[in-house]
Amino acid sequence: MILKQLRLSRSLSQEQLANMSGLNVRTIQRIEAGANASLESQKCLAAALNVSIEALNQVRFTMKQSKDNWKELPLILKVWFTLNFLQIRPKRKTARRIEYISHGFGFMFCTLGIVSEAALIGGLFMLITGYLFTLLKWQGDKYTIWD
C-alpha cells in the first residue's frame, strides 16, 4: 500500500490525514508500517486522498509521467529548465546528481575556508548552486516534466 507516499505527496501529516479520513492516528501508523487495512479503512483513506481503492493498494508509487506536461509548460519555465540543465528535456537524475555534487563540494570548500577566503567564497557559490538545483528539482516534480 502506498499510503505514506500519497500522504507525503499531498504534504499531509498523519494527524491531518486522520482528521480528514475519520480514522485514528494509530491506525494510519499501522497501515503505513505495513499492516493490512480493513476495507472500511481503505474506503475512508481513498475518499480522504481522492484516489481509488485500487490506486491506494498499489505496491509502488508512480508519479504521473506525461510527455504533454512539457508541451503545456509556460515558455518561461521551459527556458528556465533548458538554460539550467543545458538539455531540451531535463532528467530528474541530472538534477539530483548536480545537487549532491554541488552540496558536497560546497561543504568541502567551506571547510577549507578556514585557511583560505577564496575557498570559502567558492564553497558558498557551490552551496547556492546546490540549492538552486534543489529548487529546480522541486519545480520539475511540481509540474511533472521529467523524462
Find the mean pLDDT for residues 3-18. 85
H helices of 50-91, in order, are 53-56, 67-72, 75-85
pLDDT tens digits for range 111-124? 999 999 999 999 99
pLDDT tens digits for range 67-87? 566 677 778 877 877 787 777
Looking at the structure, tell me whether residues 54 and 89 fall in a common domain. no
Residue reference for cell 561543504: 107
Reduced to 3 states, what is the DSSP secondary structure of residue 23? Answer: coil
* pTM for this prediction: 0.50
Q: What is the CATH number of the domain that holds 28?
A: 1.10.260.40
Looking at the structure, tell me whether residues 93 and 120 fall in a common domain. yes
Looking at the structure, tell me whether residues 37 and 99 fall in a common domain. no
Q: Please give the Cα distance from 32 to 13 (Å, whole number).
A: 12
Domain that holds residue 54: 2-64
Looking at the structure, tell me whether residues 11 and 51 fall in a common domain. yes
Looking at the structure, tell me whether residues 38 and 98 fall in a common domain. no
Looking at the structure, tell me whether residues 59 and 85 fall in a common domain. no
Choose between 55 and 66: higher pLDDT.
55
Residue-averaged pLDDT of the chain: 83
Number of domains present in the structure of the chain? 2
